[in-house]
Amino acid sequence: MPELPDVEAYREVFQTCAVGRVVRRVDVRDAGVLHGVSARRLREALERRKFTGLERHGKWLLARTGGGHTLMLHFGMTGRLVCDHPDAAAEPHDRVLFTVGRDRQLRFRDQRKLQGLWLADDAGVARLLDRQGPDAMAVDREEFEAALTARRGSLKSALIDQSVLAGLGNLLADEILWRAGLRPTGRAGDLTEADRRRLHTEMRRTLRSSVTAGCVPPRDSWLTGHRDDPDPHCPRCGTFLRRTRLAGRTTVWCPRCQPGDA
Ligand SMILES: [Zn+2]
Ligand 1 centroid from CA 95, angstroms: 43
The proportion of the chain whose per-residue pLDDT surpasses 90, expressed as a percent, equals 92
Q: What is the pLDDT of residue 262?
A: 53
What phi and psi, each to the nearest 5 degrees, are found at residue 139? Answer: -70, 135
pLDDT beneath 70: ranges in the chain: 262
Q: What is the pLDDT of residue 260?
A: 83
Ligand 1 centroid from CA 208, angstroms: 22
Q: Where in the chain is the domain with CATH 3.20.190.10?
A: 4-128
Ligand 1 centroid from CA 257, angstroms: 4
User: Which residues place a Cβ less than 5 A from the ion ligand 1?
Assistant: 234, 236-237, 239, 254, 256-257
In tens, the pLDDT along 67-112 reads 889 999 999 999 999 999 999 999 999 999 999 988 999 999 999 9
Rounded CA gap, 47 and 82, in Å?
19
Q: What is the pLDDT of residue 152?
A: 83
- CATH homologous superfamily of 4-128 equals MutM-like, N-terminal (3.20.190.10)
Q: What is the pLDDT of residue 20?
A: 96
Q: Which residues are annotated as catalytic?
A: 2-3, 59, 249
Q: Where in the chain is the domain with CATH 1.10.8.50?
A: 141-253
Rounded CA gap, 84 and 90, in Å?
9
Residues 141-253, CATH architecture: Orthogonal Bundle (1.10)
Q: What is the pLDDT of residue 179?
A: 98
Q: Rg of the chain's alpha carbons, rounded to an integer?
A: 20
